[in-house]
Amino acid sequence: MARSRKSNTVPRHPDAEKGLNANSVVSYRIRSARERKGYTQQEFAQELGKLTGHVLPQSSIGAMERWEGDKQRMFDAHELYLLSLVLDVPIAYFFIPPPGMNTELMRDSRYEVNALPLRLIGTDDQVAAFDEAIGELTGSEDGDLAPGFVAGPAGWFKRFREWRLQRLYQLETKYDDRLNPLARLLQELGNDILEHGTRGFLTSRARIDGDPIAFKLEEDDDGEAG
CB 104 within 8 A of CB 112: yes
What is the rounded distance in angstroms from the CA atom of residue 117 to the CA atom of residue 81?
19
Inside any domain, residue 88: yes
Inside any domain, residue 141: no
Mean pLDDT of the chain: 76
CB 157 within 8 A of CB 149: yes
Q: For position 141, what pLDDT does the model report?
A: 56
CA 91 remoteness from chain centre: 15
Inside any domain, residue 220: no
Confidence at 216, pLDDT banded by 50, 70, 90: low
> What's this model's pTM, rounded to 2 decimal places?
0.60
Number of domains comprising the chain:
1
Inside any domain, residue 3: no
Is 85 or 158 the better-scoring residue by pLDDT?
Answer: 85
Nearest in space to 56 (alpha carbons), one of 66, 45, 47: 45
Within 24-109, strands assigned E span none
Q: What is the mean pLDDT of residues 124-146?
A: 67
Q: Which domain holds residue 74?
A: 22-120
Q: What is the mean pLDDT of residues 31-35?
A: 96
Least confident range from 90-99, 177-186, 213-222: namely 213-222
Inside any domain, residue 190: no
Give the CATH number, domain containing residue 70.
Answer: 1.10.260.40
